[in-house]
């Protein structure tokens, strides 16, 4: 499974979201290839991803950048909340 963590610039916050998604997956006993991307590169980064994690504020821009995709876009309110990320990932892939 592939998961892409997306933020506006792809530097700091997507790395935080990536790390916390990996922690959440570990707690759930699941494994996935989690990568980070900026908004400009999300179409290429998510070409074969099952899940795209992003903020609620960026979700519509991510949808527009991806166009028609089969990736599920999962909106995260708090990038630091491993429990929230875990709940949302479990609902998405569980």
> Do 76 and 29 form a contact (C-beta atoms < 8 A)?
no
Whole-structure pTM value? 0.92
If we measure between CA atoms, which residue out of 4, 13, 66, 78 comes closest to residue 34? 4
Considering the domain boundaries, does residue 94 fall inside one? no
**What are residue 71's phi and psi, to 5 degrees?**
-70, 140
Domain contains 40: yes
Burial (CB count <10 Å: 0-12, 13-18, 19+), residue 93: middle
Model pLDDT for residues 26-82, shown as the tens digit of each residue: 999 999 999 999 999 999 999 999 999 999 999 999 999 998 778 999 999 999 999
Number of domains in the chain: 1
Q: Do the domain assignments include residue 48?
A: yes
Report pLDDT for 69.
76
CB 5 within 8 A of CB 36: yes
Residue whose token pair is 């099952």: 50
Please report the pLDDT score of residue 3 as a whole number: 97
Q: Does the residue 19 lie in any domain?
A: yes
CA 30 – CA 27 distance, rounded (Å): 8
In this prediction, residue 10 carries a pLDDT of 63
CATH number at residue 44: 3.40.50.2300
The answer to the question of residue 93 being in a domain is: no
Q: Which domain holds residue 39?
A: 2-88
């Amino acid at each position: 499974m592939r998961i892409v963590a997306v933020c506006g610039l792809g530097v700091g916050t997507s790395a935080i979201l990536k790390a916390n998604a990996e922690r959440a997956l570990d707690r759930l006993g699941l494994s996935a290839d989690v990568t980070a991307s900026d908004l400009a590169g999300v179409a290429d980064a998510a070409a074969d991803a099952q899940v795209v994690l992003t903020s609620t504020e960026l979700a519509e821009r991510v949808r527009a950048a991806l166009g028609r995709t089969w990736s599920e876009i999962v909106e995260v309110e708090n990038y630091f909340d491993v429990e929230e990320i875990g709940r949302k990932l479990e609902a998405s892939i569980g």
